[in-house]
Structure formats: C-alpha cells, structure tokens
Amino acid sequence: MIETDKYMPAGVELKCYHCGEDCDTDDIRIDDKVFCCNGCKTVYEILDQNNLCTYYTLDENPGISQKKEIKRNYDFLDDPQLKEELIDFTDGNTTKVTFSIPQMHCSSCIWILENLFKLNPGIKFSRADFLKKIVTIQYSEKEITLKEVVRLLDSIGYEPDLNLEGKQKEKTNSHNKKLAYKIGIAGFAFGNIMLFSFPEYLHVESFSRDVLKETFGYLNILFALPVFFYSASEYFVSAYKGLKKKIVNIDVPVSLGIIVLFTRSLIEILTNTGVGYLDSMTALVFLLLVGRIFQNKTYDALNFERNYKSYFPIAVTIRKNGKETTKPVGKLKVRDRIIIKNNELVPADSVLINGRGFIDYSFVTGESNPVEKVNGDLIYAGGKQVGGAIEVETIKEVSQSYLTQLWNNEAFSKKYQSNINSMVNVVSKYFTFVILSIATVAGIYWWPESSIAFNAFTAVLIIACPCALALSTPFTLGNSLRIYGKNKFYLKNTDVVEAMSEITDIVFDKTGTLTETGSSTVKFIGEPLTDEEKVLVKTLVRNSSHPLSNGINELFDIDVSGDVKDFKEIPAKGIEAVINGKHVKIGSRMFVNHVQEENKIDLSTRVFLSIDGNTRGYFAIKNSYRENLDEIIKKLKRDYNLYLLSGDNDSEKPELQKIFGENTIMKFRQTPQAKLDFVKSLQQNGKKVLMIGDGLNDAGALKQSDVGISISENANNFSPACDGILESKSFGKLDEFINFAKTSKRIIIASFIISFIYNLVGIYFAVQGTLSPVIAAILMPLSSISVVVFTTFTTNAFAKSKKLL
Amino acid sequence: MSVILILIGFSLSVAILFLVLYLWAVKSGQYDDKYTPSVRILFDDEIKDDREKDKNGDAEKSANKLNHNSIN
C-alpha cells in the first residue's frame, strides 16, 4: 500500500472490475474497466467474448482474484481409471460429473456456473448448489473431455477441488432424506390421530356406544403402524445396539415407552376396553424426530474429514521407460520416477535424482523458507517444489511416508461413535432403573386387581417416557451450534459442544494459529528507498533465514541482482555484506550505528538499515500475531493450562513468553508426531485437551485431542481433519466460545430438572392407575414443547448477553 | 351417521394425497438445496445485448428445455 500511493491520484481507489481488489496501477484496462492483474482481465475477456457480462451486473466485482494464479496441469485427467473415479456416471456419450467449487460465493457465481454451456457447447447442462458449493455438469463426450471441462472452469477462476473423497457425502444425504420421510409420516399420523381422538378428549356422551368409536380406533391403529414400524425404528435399533454393548442409552427408556404405548393401545382398542394412547405415541415419535433434525445440523459446504489424500494431487506425472505418463497417487510404488513441476507437492518420501530442488515445507512444518536440495538428497512427502521441474524417485509408498505415517496412528483409525459418556446417557441409566422399579412397585401394590395393576405398571412406563429428556440435549446443543455458526465457528456436530464444556487444557500451534498468515506488517520509516537501494536490501536479506529478514524480503517486489561478498550474520545483532561494492548493514540500532536502542513505545520491532555508513532509516516490523492475542491469552490463562507447540524454530520465544507468561510450556521444532504424542501424554494424565492449529502438521494432534479446532482465514479453504473450523476473525472470541459450551451444559441440566418435574406429576396419576388418555395427550407433548422452548430461549438469551447473537 | 364416515373417507384421501406429494417432493430432491433456487429464479430477467439477441434467445430456450428434461 505504501508504495502504491504515488501512482494514484489521492483519494481515488481503483477497484478491479473483476474481483474488486485494489489495483496498484490503472495500466491494465479495457475501455473504462480497470483490472488488478492480467488474470482477471483474461477472465473478463473470455466472458465478454461469449456475451456473458451479466456476470458483472448481478453482483459487484464478483470475480475471484487471479493474482496468485498458477497454471495448473490437468493432464492426469486423461487417465481413464482416474476419470472413472471422478465422474458420477457415463453412458459413453453423456457424462455427468460433480465438482466441488470452494470459490463459489455470490449469485454471479451461480449464474456463470449454470451458463457454462454458453462458453462451450459441449457442456449440455450445469447446475450449482450454493450451500454445498458444488456444481453438477453434464457434457457430451464427443465434444469435450473431462480435462477440458476442468480447464474451462479453471480459466474463469473456478478451479474445482479435485479429490476422491466427495462420494462419501452422498450417504449422509440419503440419511437426511430418510429422516424427512419418517418425520412426514409421523407428523401425518400424529395430526390425524389427534383429530380422531377429539371426541374422546371432549367426552362426547354418545360416543362410547357409537360405531364411530370403533372405526376411529381401527383407523388410528392403521395410522400408528407405519409410525411404530418405520418412523420409530431407529430408536429400537439404537436401544438394541446399546443394550448389546451393556450400555443403557437414552433410547432404551424411549423405546420402552413407545413399545408399551403401542401394545397397550392395541390391546385396549382391539378388546374394546379403551381408546388407547396412539395420539401420544405418534406425537412423541414426531417430536423426537424433529429433535434429531436439530442434532443433525451440519455444514454441508465444510469438510471436517479431510485426510492427507486431499492435500496431495490426485495424480502425478511419472516417467516410465523414457515416456511421461500419469498415475493416481494411491498407486504409486517404491522406485517410481516422478516429475514434480513448479508448485507441485511431493506425494511420497523420495530421493532427488534430477534437477535443482527448492523445497518449501511450510505445509508440513510451518517453516516457509524453501530448502535447497541437490541430487541424492531426501525429500519428505508434503514438500512443495518452487522453481523448475525436478525428477525424484520414491523410496516409500505414500501411506508409509514421514508425513502420512501420522495417519497410521491409532487416533485416525478410531471410528466415530456417539460418545457414550454424554450426560444424557449417564442420566438415562439411572432413570431407566428408577422408572422400572416405580412401575414394578405400583404393579405389586395393585396386584390382586390385575387390570389396575397392569394399568398402573404400563402407565408409569408411558408417562415417564423421557421424551423431554431426550429432546433437551439436541435442542440445546443444536441451538448452540447455530449460534457458533453465526460467529463463524463451525463445529462438526453437537457432541463437540459437550466435549468443549469439559476442556481443561488448551494447546496452541504457532504458525498460522497465533500468527496471521500473509499479512505484510513491515514498513520502512525514513526517506523512501530508491530502486537501487531496494535491490541491495533484498539481495542482502535473502541470505538470511531469520524471520525478520523474511519480512523485509517480502516487502519489496523487485528482482535481485548483484554479487554478495563478505556476508556476515551475527546472531541477535544483524547481517552485513558488501553488495555491488556497497557496504550494507541491517540489524539492531546498536549493530548498525552504535547507538543504544531507545525505549520502545509500540510493540513493533525496529530493524535499522545503513548503506556505506549512512543510516537510511529503519524497518518497523509489527509482530504478525493475531489481534488481541495477549488479551485472549490472559483470559484463557485464568481457567486453563496453556501450551504452545510449534514446528518452527524458537526465534520468537521471548516475544511469545511475554504474552503467555514465564510458566507456560513452549516446545519448538516439533514434528507432527511429537505434537500428537504431547497431546496424548496430557490426556493420559486425565486432561481434556483442546488443540487449535491450522496446518497438515497439526492434523495428528487435532485428531488425538478431545476437541481439535482448525483455524482458517476462510472456512471453505483447506483445513485438516478436525472437530471444528474457526474463522480467524473470530479467534478473539475463543474464551467466549468455551464459556458458552459450559453455559449450554448448565442449560441442559436445568431442562433435565424441568422434565423430571413433569414426570413426577405424570407418575402421580399413573401409580393410581387413573392415567386417562387426555392427560397423557396433554402432559407428554406439553413437557416436550416446554423443554424445547425453555432451552431455545435460554441459549439465545445467554448468547445475547455475551454478544454472540 | 354414515355421512360422517363418507366425509372422513374424503378428508382422509385428501390428507393422504398431501402426504404422498410431500414424500414425492422429498424424493425428487426438492429439499436438497434450499438456497440456490431462490437465487436462480431471479436470473430470468436477463438484460440482453442487442447483438445476437435472436440467435441466443432460441439457443437458450432449447437449452432450458434440456435442463428440465435432465432433472427428471
């Protein structure tokens, strides 16, 4: 920004017509439209030629910035086997394929993605789903290939996120549909049975002898059958599974209640002794299923289950018998020769055999300086080549590599199971036994009169059916999930909220978690540098790997040249060298011009520059820590043990110690495995660990921890497998989020108490054997609905008081 | 009294019709995407350039037809 001022008239901001980013110059333009880069201009030209400029009228500057554009190579899509895995189906002529497009963000995006056929007639049909961020495309095999379709999307800025994992999602989709059927049927039956039960509620005199009563009874059974056998089936299955594992989960008393309701109603109606409780039963099932919707609330567009495969390209170029072909990454074998081009990842541990390697391990370790490699050097999987193409030979399979070994850890093979220790299941265990004993006692008490005994026994089980209990958790946690989502904190499921309420220890990653990525915070203070001087500075700092040098290096976008002589790096002081005959010194004030540093006012670090003995000024380098970091750490420190694990070197340790305090354990140069082990050791000491990290290198620790949160600039970006995705803007609310989870837990306990009170009232009637269907029909839905209303209102009220809503 | 039974028969068949319609709507995927259609419906008021207007109009109509066919 500082440098751009001189190019522009003051006060006028130039925004790219395509993507809305600030333009440095107005050189790149068509007519009166300015673009920030040639990439954006190209996209505009493509759209203009095809008469698709409506794109720009639907939303302002809808495009995706093309500044960081790298030309990707999609040749691997010609591989028939790979294509088979990516497409949905093909009949030889027409092929249907679904792509995930994370960049989709506005109505213009939907429009352009649905008008692809105007760009290429080979595409017959395309349909976007905004929430899931996917586009389904049908194209004609004769006119266009899969590779060309992907290239077309890429050319207009919507690069598909190609990986082979997407297909699992369809399963949850069909599950949701099933739930919708079940609710529809239960709701339908509930409404109709309620209507047929009205004469009974109102005690219509003539009703009891009427033929209508019998008809209504049979109709009610007819309606209740699909509810019992279809809609309620999952509760029976879950209860059975629980009992098999000797766990009395909440579904056990629920199923017991439903079964007793149904059988007793059947007996009463068929023997003409009563009207039964089918209205209560269907209402119960209906409400329970609605609760399940709340519990199943998920973020379709977000992926919490990424494994290492989605980080790697799905295919690589290999050299076989002197020819270049592509091969899916999963089929790579030891001793395959792979060609790695600029900006491509090395998928397996390999040895460099040809070319000059500059490997950027930022993906793996958080350290962003490329490491130079020469022939014969080992390159670990996850490294990214920067520069020309290299040829490597794999020495391990993808799944055995240094990085991917993590995924062989047992933490990853742990299958998802609903947590059996959740509060509701603990409560339900005692609840079930208490209710069963009350029912038995009531039955024994009335024993000589067997009909009353039967009535009392069943009535207790019916009225005590813990519908309200079963609903309180999903509604409270579902609502919390929604509130978190509004604050850009997305959790995988409701279990995470509960796990978060029990946290004792918090582990932070450094790079990307505590520090912000890609924000330039370096400023030169002093007389502006000439281009020649910038070259000198940049040439010098490139020789150093110190983080401050990197910051300065990134400040200037200029080609470096010149020969460096007498380069010296004095730790904790600075660097100096003679470049193009000029003596350049960069470092502390003491080092550069022998004056003691004044007391600093702001947090920024000053790095002084002198050329040939003239002090030119200083670089003010603000630490790139997240805003309010010290504040949030201070708050968290009061209630939790904090730890810091970093893959980076410890150059920032003093700075961090200031923020975290002296006693906080900080570990640097941690491998991904070491991070995982550290979390594990905490857990073995009985701690509940929340880990917050961002990179692939944190993936193991995130998975191992009780709550693994991945922090991201944009939730739709890549993030490792985790329990929650936190947008970096909301980092400052972390303590509020954890506190809110605790509040949610307290609300659940309160709603348990409410539902127990209802149960006591119901049992009072039930043990006397006088539970009339009307009381049941009122009491049961009333208790459920009041609990739902209570939890929803209180969670919202607490969220408002904490300014989360 | 039998008139009530007849009326109940009618009302039930209407109710069942609605249930079937609901189930069909779920099955055909109308609840899969609850957001995009609300945006899509606004696209029809497209401002057209004068050039190629007729040609494009026809092409689009046939394309739209195709779209509808392929959903079902």
A488/A17 Cα distance (integer angstroms): 28
Which residues lie closer than 8 Å to A165 by C-beta, 6 or more apart? Answer: A303, A305, A306, A307, A309, A310
Q: Could you list the residue range(s) of the whole structural domain that residue B22 is in?
A: 2-71
A44/A36 Cα distance (integer angstroms): 12
Which amino acid is located at A25 in the chain? T
Q: Which of residues 110-139 of A touch B (CB under 8 A)?
A: 110-111, 114, 117, 124-125, 127-132, 138
Contacts of the segment A45-52: beta carbons below 8 A, 24+ positions apart:
A46/A119, A46/A155, A46/A156, A47/A112, A47/A156, A50/A118, A50/A119, A51/A118, A51/B49, A51/B51, A51/B52, A51/B56, A52/A112, A52/A115, A52/A118, A52/A119
Q: Are residues A211 and A185 in the same domain?
A: yes
Q: Is A796 helix (H, G, I), strand (E, B) or coil?
A: helix
Partner-chain contact A184 B23, CB within 8 Å: yes
- Range with the lowest mean pLDDT among A43-52, A221-230, A713-722, A792-801? A713-722
Number of domains chain A is built from: 5
A359/A373 Cα distance (integer angstroms): 7
Q: When comparing pLDDT for A181 and A659, which is higher?
A: A181
Q: Could you list the residue range(s) of the whole structural domain that residue A155 is in?
A: 75-162
Give the closest residue to A264 by CA, choosing from A778, A771, A775: A771
Share of chain A above pLDDT 90, in %: 16
Partner-chain contact B19 A210, CB within 8 Å: no
Domain boundary among A594, A621, A648: A621
Q: Are residues A175 and A276 in the same domain?
A: yes
The per-residue pLDDT for range A548-594, each reduced to its tens digit, is 777 777 777 777 666 777 888 776 678 888 888 888 888 877 777 77
Which pLDDT band holds residue A791 (cuts at 50, 70, 90)? very high
Q: Are residues A377 and A460 in the same domain?
A: no
Q: Is the pLDDT of residue A618 over 80?
A: yes
The per-residue pLDDT for range A131-141, each reduced to its tens digit, is 888 888 999 98
The per-residue pLDDT for range A494-515, each reduced to its tens digit, is 888 888 998 999 999 887 788 7
Number of domains chain B is built from: 1
Give the closest residue to A701 by CA, choosing from A658, A739, A646: A646
> Does residue A505 form part of some domain?
no
Q: What pLDDT shows up at residue A412? A: 65
Give the closest residue to A386 by CA, choosing from A410, A398, A409, A369: A369
Which pLDDT band holds residue B56 (cuts at 50, 70, 90)? very low
Q: What pLDDT shows up at residue B54? A: 43
Q: Are residues A401 and A449 in the same domain?
A: no
Q: Is the pLDDT of residue B53 over 60?
A: no
Q: What pLDDT shows up at residue B19? A: 95
Q: Are residues A226 and A331 in the same domain?
A: no
Kindly provide the b/e burial profile for residues A253-278, where b requires at least 16 CB atoms within 10 angstroms of the residue's own CB.
bbbbbbbbbbebbbebbeeeebbbbb
Q: Are residues A406 and A434 in the same domain?
A: no
Which pLDDT band holds residue A545 (cuts at 50, 70, 90)? low
Partner-chain contact A181 B1, CB within 8 Å: no
> Does residue A659 form part of some domain?
no
Q: Strand ranges (DSSP E) for A499-652?
A: 505-509, 522-526, 564-570, 574-579, 582-587, 605-611, 614-621, 641-645
> Does residue A211 form part of some domain?
yes
Q: Are residues A526 and A387 in the same domain?
A: no
Q: What pLDDT shows up at residue A643? A: 93
Q: Are residues A178 and A283 in the same domain?
A: yes
Share of chain A above pLDDT 70, in %: 86
Q: What pLDDT shows up at residue A188? A: 95
Which pLDDT band holds residue A546 (cuts at 50, 70, 90)? low
Longest CA–CA separation in chain B, Å = 72
Which pLDDT band holds residue A349 (cuts at 50, 70, 90)? confident
Partner-chain residue, chosen from B19, B32, B63, that has the shortest CB–CB distance to A117: B63
Q: When comparing pLDDT for A729 and A366, which is higher?
A: A729
Q: What pLDDT shows up at residue A68? A: 57
Which pLDDT band holds residue A12 (cuts at 50, 70, 90)? low
The per-residue pLDDT for range A406-455, each reduced to its tens digit, is 666 666 665 445 554 577 888 888 888 999 999 999 889 888 888 888 88
Partner-chain contact A130 B27, CB within 8 Å: no
Q: Are residues A37 and A91 in the same domain?
A: no
Mean pLDDT in residue range A588-608? 66
Q: What is the pTM of this model?
A: 0.76
Q: What pLDDT shows up at residue A552? A: 78
Q: What pLDDT shows up at residue A8? A: 42
Kindly provide the b/e burial profile for residues A129-155, where b requires at least 16 CB atoms within 10 angstroms of the residue's own CB.
bbebbbbbbbbeeeebbbbbbbbbbeb
CA distance A136 to chain B (A): 11
CA distance A215 to chain B (A): 9
Partner-chain residue, chosen from B26, B32, B66, that has the shortest CB–CB distance to A125: B66
Q: Are residues A209 and A261 in the same domain?
A: yes
Tell me the residue length of chain A: 805
CA distance A197 to chain B (A): 13
CA distance A114 to chain B (A): 9
Q: What pLDDT shows up at residue A2? A: 40
The residues with which A575 forms a beta bridge, in sequence order, are: A569, A586
ipTM of this complex prediction, to 2 decimal places: 0.73
Q: Are residues A175 and A283 in the same domain?
A: yes
